[in-house]
Structure 1
């Protein structure tokens, strides 16, 4: 049985001070600051609390290099209670990714790579024969509580001479499995004008703020018509920072033209965690404070918005009776140097720092 404990004197992003009482792994009370009772008291005066951060795009299968890392290294150790592996594994290895959850504390879900080999190779869609429709459907059926969508990486280095065909096949698989697509956009061919029209409501464009030539904004920073149309259709925009997919200049254009902030994700793996420019979720979130988004908007992009896309609203709220998944963090008013994927450096004046998590009812300091 998990002990009853209190997170004392924490505050929501609206500055409301509260105590949160956790008992038997669930939120037992959300009450006035200083009034919660429990055998263990964790006083976090001045610290913020939110529902647990959700990272919609990570790579958590360490066996595949260069895109891989340990689950908890990119999860709870950096304030993230739920991660979604973005297509590291196809049908050949998805069972191994599922099994890896047993040794981790961080909640883990996954997008299934439509290529059965996944990221065993970085040109996983260059051979159409690697897309085995029956294996995709079998994996989705077997791990339906784990697989949240299908991943297809539509950039030149991945598809080579296959062109747009992998996405057409993935679109059909999406219809057959009733799962949305997460589509990685990058260098052409195929062109962005070929890719985006094939996406439908509920699908995800990841790397939407990348600075490559084949991006979603014109040379003057104005959103392309295909982006405006996608937003109108209800397509979800995901940051997916990564080594090469986040540009301050493009992000400033998106802010200028009031492109909605859906989800902020890291596309984190060992190299960009250790050497940057990602480092951790808090660092990426700090970049959006620098861009002028409010703390509320930034935190919603890794809590409410992500949880709602996953159709797991309980992950995005602090509500009595729910399993306790929470993130404790501070906002330091001090200069911080921030670097995008193109080496562009900016100096912000506020820095978010993760301090601890409650994951499935267990309190862990970061």
Structure 2
């Protein structure tokens, strides 16, 4: 983008129409709609613009199966300019993941799996000797610009007979490194009432809207005391939709009780991108529009609030002097079928469709997503 590029008549999520001027990849001017001029003018009267979407939970290491994918397939091609890999790699392969990120158009950050093998196996915390404290600390030092936290998957299929012991070790590693935890929750044992009290301020509980028996809501939809206590002490709620971790029924109960997501993430990888029920970030965001969240709330969950948690405020704003980091999207008024992780189908009258991103001085058109 060497020219003076003008995005004309694009809308902020509050409906305000603006022009954005970009020169050499940097935002140089933001004006009222129709006021700016440039060598290359792009009219977008039906399009919204936000800072680049941030997906706080993806699996972007393509060598691992089933939980892996190509960075740009789940990044810029879906309107997402920054992805945060959620523990695909431990100390054994984190260097390879970071190297892959340097070759991609999408910005990549990562949670380091406390198990050195990462998702090479799906029971990576079944053997405690795979948690190598020294290697965790070394990896943090070597890749401090990329690692934003530690990941521990605390469900029965992952920990096997170890219960909450891996999480207690993760808590110690968090204190040693100063890195917060992202904790995956799922089937028991361990019981969710053993897991959540170990989380502290800024730790993330991901999959908090899952519909499994071991979830965070009671039989009549009320939040468990361990959840309300965690929210009170500053634990962060992340969606992490995934193949098995988002329920319309639970999400509706949560919303009714005012338990709203801090961030909306996909837990996307090759299988649930191609075959559903995730498909894309836009598809997941559309589910929250369907639930009744406003467009402003939905987009904030993948821009400003995600950027604030990351401590990288510049990723969540549109401001003169910043590199252009933008997502362009439409809101289509048409019937759209949406499916949750339980196989429940709902029909929404609106859907979000990603159109393109501007990142690293380039415009990249998004691929059409379900």
* Same fold by TM-score greater than 0.5: yes
The equivalent of 1:230 in structure 2 is 230
The equivalent of 1:71 in structure 2 is 71
Number of aligned positions between the proteins: 366
| SS of alignment partner, residue 329 of structure 2 | strand
Q: C-alpha displacement at 1:306, in angstroms?
A: 0.4
1:185-216 Cα distance to aligned partner (Å, 9 max, x none): 00000110100000000000000000000000
- Asked if structure 2 preserves the Cα contact closer than 8 Å seen for 1:261 and 1:297, the reply is no
1:97-128 Cα distance to aligned partner (Å, 9 max, x none): 01001221000000000000000000000000
- The alignment yields a C-alpha RMSD, in angstroms, of 0.8
TM-score by length of 1: 0.99
The equivalent of 2:55 in structure 1 is 55
Q: C-alpha displacement at 1:364, in angstroms?
A: 1.4
The equivalent of 1:335 in structure 2 is 335
Q: How far, CA to CA, are the matches of 1:362 and 1:132 in structure 2?
A: 41
The equivalent of 1:315 in structure 2 is 315
Q: Work out whether 1:119 is the aligned partner of 2:119.
A: yes
The equivalent of 1:272 in structure 2 is 272
The equivalent of 1:212 in structure 2 is 212
Q: How far, CA to CA, are the matches of 2:306 and 2:38 in structure 1?
A: 31
For residues 231-270 of structure 1, the aligned pairs below 5 Å read: 231-270=231-270
Q: How far, CA to CA, are the matches of 1:97 and 1:364 in structure 2?
A: 23
| SS of alignment partner, residue 82 of structure 2 | strand
For residues 336-351 of structure 1, the aligned pairs below 5 Å read: 336-351=336-351
For residues 1-366 of structure 1, the aligned pairs below 5 Å read: 2-366=2-366
- 253-262 or 47-56, which moves further after superposition? 253-262
Q: C-alpha displacement at 1:348, in angstroms?
A: 0.6
Q: How far, CA to CA, are the matches of 1:221 and 1:260 in structure 2?
A: 14
Q: C-alpha displacement at 1:294, in angstroms?
A: 0.4
| SS of alignment partner, residue 129 of structure 1 | helix
Q: How far, CA to CA, are the matches of 1:318 and 1:122 in structure 2?
A: 39
Q: How far, CA to CA, are the matches of 2:105 and 2:241 in structure 1?
A: 24
1:219-244 Cα distance to aligned partner (Å, 9 max, x none): 11100000000000000000000000
Q: How far, CA to CA, are the matches of 2:304 and 2:139 in structure 1?
A: 28
Q: How far, CA to CA, are the matches of 1:74 and 1:359 in structure 2?
A: 15
Q: C-alpha displacement at 1:260, in angstroms?
A: 2.6
- Asked if structure 2 preserves the Cα contact closer than 8 Å seen for 1:11 and 1:18, the reply is yes
Q: C-alpha displacement at 1:3, in angstroms?
A: 3.0
| SS of alignment partner, residue 83 of structure 1 | strand
Q: How far, CA to CA, are the matches of 1:233 and 1:3 in structure 2?
A: 49
Gapped runs of 5+ residues in structure 1?
A: none
Q: How far, CA to CA, are the matches of 1:37 and 1:120 in structure 2?
A: 52
Q: C-alpha displacement at 1:295, in angstroms?
A: 0.4
- Asked if structure 2 preserves the Cα contact closer than 8 Å seen for 1:55 and 1:84, the reply is yes
Q: How far, CA to CA, are the matches of 1:36 and 1:58 in structure 2?
A: 37
Q: How far, CA to CA, are the matches of 1:28 and 1:121 in structure 2?
A: 47
TM-score by length of 2: 0.98
Q: How far, CA to CA, are the matches of 2:279 and 2:251 in structure 1?
A: 19
1:24-64 Cα distance to aligned partner (Å, 9 max, x none): 21111111111222211111111000000000000000000
Q: C-alpha displacement at 1:175, in angstroms?
A: 0.5
Q: How far, CA to CA, are the matches of 1:167 and 1:101 in structure 2?
A: 28
Q: Which runs of structure 1 show a deviation greater than 6 angstroms over 4 or more consecutive aligned residues?
A: none
